[in-house]
C-alpha cells in the first residue's frame, strides 16, 4: 500500500513538473504542450521550438563532422503518406499584396 502511495506521489510530482516547464526539452514536448498553461506565466508570443512535436525535417541540424571512412550511409526518409499535404498559397497577387502591406507599414512608421 505504501509503495502504491509513493508511486502515485511520484507520478503527481512528475506531472506537476511537466506542467510548469512546457518548453523544458524536446523529448517530452508532446506531454508538455498538452498540459494546461500556467495561470501565472506568460509564454513567448509564438510557441518555441521545444514546444513543437518532434521534427521530421533535419535541415536545421548542424552538419555532421566529416569522417575518413567512405561507408555509404543509407538515409532513411520518413513517410508522410498519411499526412495531409501542406497548402501553401504563394501567388503573384499574394506577393503584391504583401508588398503593398509592407509599404503601408513603412509609410505608417515613417510618419
Binding site for another protein (CB under 8 A): 36-49, 60, 86-91, 93-94, 97-98, 101-102, 104-105, 108-109, 111
Residue among 2 and 57 whose Cβ is closer to another protein: 57
Nearer to another protein, 12 or 97 (CB): 97
Distance CA 111, CA 105 (A): 10
Least Cβ distance, residue 56 to another protein (angstroms): 14
The residue (of 45 and 65) whose beta carbon lies closer to another protein is: 45
The answer to whether the beta carbons of residues 103 and 95 sit under 8 Å apart is no
Query: Which of 12, 4, 13, 54 has its CA nearest to residue 33?
Result: 54
Give the shortest CB-15-to-another protein separation in angstroms. 17
- Residue whose CB is less far from another protein, 4 or 92: 92
Whether the CB-CB separation of 11 and 19 falls below 8 Å is answered with no
Shortest Cβ 91–another protein spacing (Å): 7
Distance CA 111, CA 98 (A): 20
In whole angstroms, how close is the CB of 107 to another protein at the nearest point? 9
Work out the end-to-end distance of the chain between its first and last CA atoms, rounded to an integer number of angstroms. Answer: 72
Amino acid at each position: 500500500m505504501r509503495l502504491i502511495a509513493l508511486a502515485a506521489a511520484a507520478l503527481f510530482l512528475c506531472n506537476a513538473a511537466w506542467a510548469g516547464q512546457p518548453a523544458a526539452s524536446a523529448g517530452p514536448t508532446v506531454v508538455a504542450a498538452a498540459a494546461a498553461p500556467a495561470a501565472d506565466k506568460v509564454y513567448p508570443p509564438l510557441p518555441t521550438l521545444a514546444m513543437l512535436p518532434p521534427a521530421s525535417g533535419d535541415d536545421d541540424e548542424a552538419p555532421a563532422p566529416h569522417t575518413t571512412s567512405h561507408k555509404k550511409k543509407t538515409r532513411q526518409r520518413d513517410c508522410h503518406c498519411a499526412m495531409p499535404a501542406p497548402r501553401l498559397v504563394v501567388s503573384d497577387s499574394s506577393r503584391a499584396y504583401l508588398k503593398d502591406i509592407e509599404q503601408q507599414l513603412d509609410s505608417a512608421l515613417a510618419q
